[in-house]
Structure formats: C-alpha cells, structure tokens
Structure 1
Amino acid sequence: MRFKSFCVTAIVTILGLSTAPALAQSGNITIWAWDVAASSLKLVLEDFNKKFPDIKVDVQDLGNQQVFDKTLAACAAGGAGLPDIVQVENFEAEIIWNRFPDCFSNLKDLGYTADIQAKFPEFKRTELEVGDVAYAMPWDSGPVAVFYRRDFYEKAGVDPASIKSWDDFIEAGKKIAATNSGVSMAQADFNGDSEWFRMLANEQGCGYFSTDGQSITINRPACVAALEKVKEMKSAGTLAAGNWNEKIQSSTAGTVASQLYGGWYEGTIRSNSPKLDGKWGVYPMPSLTADGPHAANIGGSALAISGTSENKEAAWAYLNYALGTNEGQVAMLKGYGLVPSLLSAASDPFISQPQPYWGGQAIWSDILATLPKIVPSRGTAFQGDADNIFKATQIKYFEGGYPDAKTALGDAAAQIASATGLPVAE
C-alpha cells in the first residue's frame, strides 16, 4: 500500500517523526544485532508496521562479537555485505568511524535534524558524531545505580538513603557482613574488567581520554581518586571478586547484598532471579563525597545505517520510530529492560509506575532521572588499547606493584601514549 505525499506528511506529523526528504513508505531492510537488543528490535515491529506496512524488516541476531567482527570486515571490503542497519556499542563506536569514515551514512542527510539530536543527552552522542557527521542514533544507555537486597540491608539496620558517599558504602558493607553470614557487600571483576574504575571515574568527570579525544587523561586527579577508592573498597572487603557469571550466581544464591551497574542490569537480575521477587531495590550510586556527583554511565549502544544500503530512507524511518519515539523506546524498556536514551521517555506514565519485582519502587523514574547529569566519556579509536593497558595496570597496583594510584596511572598514561601516539594531557 502506497500513500500520496500529503497523507505521508499527515502521518509524519502525528508520529512526531522527521519530515526530511529521506522518509520512505516501502522497502526491505536487514539489521544486525544481538541478544535482547535484537529481541527488542523485533518487539516493536508490529506497531512499526501499523504505520509503515510496506517496510519489511529482518532482524538477525548474530551475537555481539560477530556483529563487530563482521562489520569491520565488511567495512574493510568497501561496505560489501553490510546490512542496512548495524547495532554498534558506544564503547567501540569510534574504532569503526576512525578506521572507516565512509562506511556508514551521515544520518543528518536522512532526517536526523538538530531538533531530533537534542532529544538525546550529550554523553550518548559524543562517541557517535564526528564533526558534522552523525554516524549513529543513540539507543539504550547505562545510567549507573546500586541494585540492593532490601532484606539484607534491613537486617543490618542500613538505610540506603543514608549512603551518600563511598565511605558510607564501605561502613554499610561492614554492618551487612556482620549481620548476614556469608554475604559480601558487592562484587567486582578485578582481573577481567575495568568496570568499577570506569564507573567511578566517569562519575567524577574523568576517563581514559579527554572529551575532544586528543589527549590522554587517565592520570588526572579525579581518575587517581577513583582508583584509590576502588582499592580501598577491595582492601576493606567491601568488594569481593566476581566476574559476570559469578555475579549472577551470587545474586541468585543470596551471597551478595548489592551490585553496581548500568540500568540495563535490571533485566539481568529480574530474569535470572525470579524467585527473589520483591526483595530487590535500587538507590543512586554514592560519590567520593556526600555532596559530590551521583551519576555515571556504563554500556549502551546505537544504530547506524550503512553507506551501501539501497534502502536508506526505509532504514531511517525504522530508526526514527524505534529509537526516536517514546512508544518505541518504552516498549523495549517494558519488554527487555533496555534503558531509553531518549530524554522524553522519562515522562511516559510507565516510568513512574511502581514495579512489583522491585518491591513496588518506581525504579525507572529514579534511574532515568540521572541521565541529564552524566558527563560524556570519550572512547576514541584507541579505547581497546587503553582498556587493556589499564586492566593490566590495575592488577599490578592491587598486587602492590605500584606505591600508589598516582604512580600506577602515570605509568598507564605513558603506556597508552606509546601505543597510540597521543599526548598525555598537561
């Protein structure tokens, strides 16, 4: 079924979608994605096709690593074999743009106007835009929160509302451990991940690289303070060792009182620990000081349209519906716990509704309230190199290989400079 132009304009106005020339009513498009993200893209197809019945969408769940590897290989081949739309992790996005700047379309040419860009927080767009080119549209985000066991905290007489600083978190952990046998306050993957450092550093406005991506800032005082605090929590027993799977097992077994992660972890807890319905709650991440910032991001992805797509207009219509409307974003949140980056989604009635699994707490209202406060953190094309260097440095520091965090991160900065050719910021 095809619509005349005046009907298209009316429909677009009703939907709140872009009226740019790149609006198509028909075409076949293919998407590469993974896991619950792929499931979420399929979830919104029924409603999308009510508005665009002649656009057929094939979502292919290939797995995270395979999407990344196949994308790089296809870009290296001039875009041959790419689908119309590709899911891209923010964490890895700049690796692709820097190596292959012509592999993906500039969404600004397809209807991604300044008004639509303004619907998303700056921290989500930082890694997706280079100069005047917008390579991808923000999708889900990872506003950090503390997920906690209400019963363990209550037994120890700990009010989560009283935990404002990381020192408060440490003291609360001691009380919880003393009153709940075999229960640790939280877990961190000290050997295989940089998660806790990145969350605390981002909270303090620091990261591996400067916001403009032109210098190395991992040795800045804010990053040093973040690493010092992570080690302090490890030494105090507040943080027990645990990788991804071990955290899930501990949460289900009842041997951990808290988990610090992006809001997307809500779905992980809820789906893996269904019998703990009503026993979990959420509170804001603590800060280095009680009156410090209490917002950070970890994780999240975006959707990009390939430069070789023969149906860019249809691809844009899907992107703008799935990611640019409250309807699409809230459906994904309800179905799979993907936290919207779209700022207006915070005003949807579902966001303020009590969530039964979470003890009747309106957790999404609390989590999404931090989005505008998150400081952008730049990945650059060297994110993987920097992260690997940091993880090795972190292990050495925890084992006593450096006299202090400042020396450790100074060494990491020097190694990153050698690997990347970027200068260490003065």
Structure 2
Amino acid sequence: MKKYLSILLAMLLLVVSACSNQSSGDKVKTGDSKHPAGTITVWGWDVAASTMKAAVESFQKKYPDVLVKVEDFNSGDLYEKLTVGLAARGSGLPDVVLMEDERIPGYIHQFPQGFLNLNKLGYDQYREAFNPAKVASVQDKDGNFIAAPWDIGPAGVFYRVDYFKKAGVDPNSIQTWDDYIAAGKKVKEATGKKMLPIDIPNYDGVFQMMMQQQGLSYFDKDGKIALQTKEAVRAMTVIKKLHDEDLILNNKGWDGIVTATVNGEVATVPYGVWYTGSIMDQAPDLKGKWDVFFLPSFKEGGTRYANVGGSSLLIPATSKNQSAAYAFVEFFTTNQDSQMLGFEKYGLFPSLKETYSAPEFTANSEYFNNSPIFKKVADIVDEVPKIHLNENYAKASSLMANAQAAILLENKSVESALKDAQKQLENEIK
C-alpha cells in the first residue's frame, strides 16, 4: 500500500510541477482582455518607478477597474528578488517588472519560460512605432516581443561650451575620433582640463559606444565573439591614444562621472541623452555652459550614432492577472502622454517615435546653450545601428573592463589584451 501511495504522490508532484512551469508559448491566460479588472503589482526603481506611479492616474481613467501598485526598489534588490522568484517558479513575483535591455537576454536564457510572449497578446502591432535598434533589443531569437520598449539612450558628446571657446575649438570641426583627440590636446593646453571621464578598471562604456557605431556589440549578428575584430582593435586603439595623451580622467563609477561634470574637471562626457537630466539637476549653475554634438566617427562620413542604456517592461508568466498586466504595459509604452512624463520630469528619453513631434522635443533648451538638443537626437534615432545582445553580455563587459585596465594601466598591447579577453570569454561560455 505504501508503495502505491508513493507512486501516486510522485505523479501528483510531477503534475503540479508541470502546471507551475507552464511555457510562455502555451495559451496565455488573459481573462477578459476587453475589460481587465483587479489588482496588479509593478516593480521598478528610482525615476522609472516615479514615472510609472505618475502614469497610473491616466491609466485608471481608461481602466477604472484595475488597481495598480507600483513598488520602488533599489535596482540591485529588484534583480535579486526577481531571480529568486523566477527560480521559485513565480513565488512573490509582480505582474509587471522593469528591466534594463542588456539584462533581458540573460534572464530569457536562464528562465526561458519565465515571461510572457507579448506577440500572443497582440503587441507586435506596435513594431513600427519604435526604432529598429530598440525593437531588436526586446525580441527573442524568433522575433517575438518578450518585453515592451520604454526608454532609450541615443548617445552624444556633452561638451563645455566655455572650455571649447577658450581653446578656440569649433565643435562642428570634430568629425572623427582623430579630430576629437586633436581638440582634446588644445582644450587641455588652454584650460588644464582633461577631455573625458572613464572608470578605467570597471567601465568600458566608451568602448561599447564605439563598437555599436561599427554595428557590433561584444558579439556579431551571428552571436560570435567580436573582441578580436578589426572594429574592436580600432575602438580600443583610440581609447589608448586618449590615455597616452593624458586626456582621460580616471574616475570612480557613476558618482565619479557626476562629480567630474559638476566640478568642471572634464571638457566632454560621451553618454546617453538621458544624462541631460543629471547635468541639469546636479549643476543648475552651469546653465548655458553645456551643449551636445554627435559621437565622432572612425572615418570621414562614418556612423556617429550609438545607444547607451534603456529599459523595457516584461510580464512574468506566473502573473495571476495577465489581462490587466498587459493593459498597463500596452498603455504605458504606447500612450504618448505616459511616455512624455518621464522625459519632461526626469530626462528619460522615450522610445515611442510619435513623441518626437511634441513641442518639448522641438524647442531650444535654455540650459544647453539654447540648442534644440532633443530634436537633434530624435532626428537620428532610426540611424542607430542594431547590435546583437545575448545572455553573455555581462560576462563580456566585465572581461573587456579588465582588458581595458591592462591596456591603459599596465601597458599591455591592444591586440594581446583583446586576444586574452576573447579566449577567456570563450572558456567561460563553454
């Protein structure tokens, strides 16, 4: 009798496990999708969470029967809770979660059944509403939307207008990275200021931007490691030249970049356009002293565009109110007013292209030298090259930061450091 009870118990556990681990490819439980109701919980952090909270009021005018609770975490805590919840097959997870685009492939790889396929809920109808690079970052290998696009970070070079004037440097003359280095020498001679901040041992963001300009991430379109390509050598060689000319300020992390900006320690900061919010908030007394030009290219007429950062919304497959969760995700990412909330208050740059005709984008910015910087950036969003992100992105970034430190601080050759990084990444992936 005990033997049969044991077999029955084992069968019941298998059934429960199968049900709780339902594939996102199975039929999605949407309830009444035309009239969603009930309560949903949304996870986010910092200004992103604040923006979502601000959007709830207008959302509930359209969906009065849905109660939205936005929970604001430190981003590190959010990812930790999310990972634990997914490993526990949904225990304690929200109905909607914010995630940085570069992290999406890793989570999808580790938890392939963890999030809803938004195509099954109709989100693919919005494919043309966003720029191709953003769309590519939120799709799986089959072209399904796994996340709904929210903000993006088209890159530019923020520069101190007064430093450039003192050095006699016209920003329009900077077309290539060689031009940028030449300008940096003049600025340093005239002002004593270095050209840009880089957290050399820990952050390879400038390298990432340079790679995307050339149509690559750490991987090519086929997913092959691209750390020994001519594009990678070209990018790191420019960074080494900047260091050899003593034009790089070795700062420490995010706080170091902000401090260097506020204290006037650098003449330029290559970064995502969302950095406008940080500059205006942290250095209000520098109004009129900052402006933006596009990233220099590697050759005359080359691509000058890249993206830094950006995040999107996902729906965990275990959500008990998928119809209401999807209603919120769809509304928040495709409603122009909701998209503009984060931009107007926090400088978060929306990925919804129809927002770019709003007056806030076309107007001149008094803070940024009376320049229409947002229109300038919005006009090139579709020109940002698509790149390949995968589950090994974080590993590659860490190894490239180590390689950068070996090149700049230990005088290791570019080719040798990149070769070692490539081999180590290959071994870690295996």
TM-score, reference length from structure 1: 0.89
Provide closer, same or farther for how the CA distance between residues 172 and 49 of structure 1 changes in structure 2, counting only shifts above 3 A.
same
Q: Deviations over 1:69-124 (max 9, x none)?
A: 111111111111110001111111111000101111111122202x3022112222
Provide closer, same or farther for how the CA distance between residues 23 and 159 of structure 1 changes in structure 2, counting only shifts above 3 A.
farther
Superposed counterparts of 1:232-381, under 5 Å: 232-243=241-252, 244-381=254-391
Q: 1:204 aligns with which of 214, 226, 245?
A: 214
> Distance between the aligned counterparts of 1:68 and 1:263, measured in 2?
25
Q: What's 1:126 paired with?
A: 136
Contact 1:90–1:301 (Cα < 8 Å) also in 2: yes
What count of residue pairs does the alignment treat as equivalent? 398
> Distance between the aligned counterparts of 2:144 and 2:377, measured in 1?
30
Matched residue SS, 1:81: coil
Superposed counterparts of 1:168-179, under 5 Å: 168-179=179-190
- In the alignment, residue 253 of structure 1 is paired with which amino acid? N
- In the alignment, residue 425 of structure 2 is paired with which amino acid? I
- In the alignment, residue 411 of structure 1 is paired with which amino acid? D
Q: 1:82 aligns with which of 85, 93, 96?
A: 93
Q: 2:236 aligns with which of 207, 227, 251?
A: 227
Q: What's 2:160 paired with?
A: 149
Q: 2:77 aligns with which of 66, 79, 99?
A: 66
- In the alignment, residue 133 of structure 2 is paired with which amino acid? F
Structure 2 residue runs without a partner (length 5+): 1-30
Q: What's 2:15 paired with?
A: none
- In the alignment, residue 429 of structure 2 is paired with which amino acid? T
Q: What's 2:12 paired with?
A: none
Q: 1:109 aligns with which of 116, 120, 128?
A: 120
C-alpha deviation, 1:54, in angstroms: 2.4
> Distance between the aligned counterparts of 1:306 and 1:206, measured in 2?
30
Matched residue SS, 2:155: strand
Q: What's 1:407 paired with?
A: 416
C-alpha deviation, 1:413, in angstroms: 1.2
TM-score, reference length from structure 2: 0.89
C-alpha deviation, 1:25, in angstroms: 4.0
Q: Deviations over 1:133-181 (max 9, x none)?
A: 3211111111111111111111222111111111111111112112224
- In the alignment, residue 401 of structure 2 is paired with which amino acid? K
Q: Deviations over 1:231-261 (max 9, x none)?
A: 1111112222113212211211122211110
Structure 1 vs Structure 2: percent identity of aligned residues?
A: 33
C-alpha deviation, 1:47, in angstroms: 2.1
Provide closer, same or farther for how the CA distance between residues 305 and 24 of structure 1 changes in structure 2, counting only shifts above 3 A.
farther
C-alpha deviation, 1:411, in angstroms: 1.9
C-alpha deviation, 1:53, in angstroms: 2.5
Matched residue SS, 1:105: coil
C-alpha deviation, 1:400, in angstroms: 4.5
C-alpha deviation, 1:407, in angstroms: 2.8
Q: Deviations over 1:366-393 (max 9, x none)?
A: 1222211112222311122212222212
> Distance between the aligned counterparts of 2:202 and 2:343, measured in 1?
29
C-alpha deviation, 1:305, in angstroms: 0.8
- In the alignment, residue 175 of structure 1 is paired with which amino acid? K
Structure 1 residue runs without a partner (length 5+): 1-19, 422-426
Matched residue SS, 1:386: helix
Matched residue SS, 2:293: strand
> Distance between the aligned counterparts of 2:105 and 2:289, measured in 1?
40
Contact 1:123–1:375 (Cα < 8 Å) also in 2: yes
Q: Deviations over 1:202-237 (max 9, x none)?
A: 111122112243x21121111110111111111112
- In the alignment, residue 291 of structure 1 is paired with which amino acid? G
Q: What's 1:418 paired with?
A: 427
> Distance between the aligned counterparts of 1:50 and 1:237, measured in 2?
56
> Distance between the aligned counterparts of 1:392 and 1:185, measured in 2?
22
TM-align CA RMSD: 1.7
Contact 2:289–2:368 (Cα < 8 Å) also in 1: yes
Q: 1:98 aligns with which of 102, 109, 124?
A: 109
Contact 2:59–2:331 (Cα < 8 Å) also in 1: yes
Provide closer, same or farther for how the CA distance between residues 212 and 125 of structure 1 changes in structure 2, counting only shifts above 3 A.
farther
Q: What's 1:9 paired with?
A: none
- In the alignment, residue 165 of structure 1 is paired with which amino acid? T
Contact 2:197–2:260 (Cα < 8 Å) also in 1: no
Provide closer, same or farther for how the CA distance between residues 54 and 165 of structure 1 changes in structure 2, counting only shifts above 3 A.
same
Matched residue SS, 2:129: coil
C-alpha deviation, 1:63, in angstroms: 1.1
1:38 aligns with 2:49: yes
Q: What's 1:17 paired with?
A: none
- In the alignment, residue 36 of structure 1 is paired with which amino acid? V
1:192 aligns with 2:198: no
> Distance between the aligned counterparts of 1:291 and 1:415, measured in 2?
35
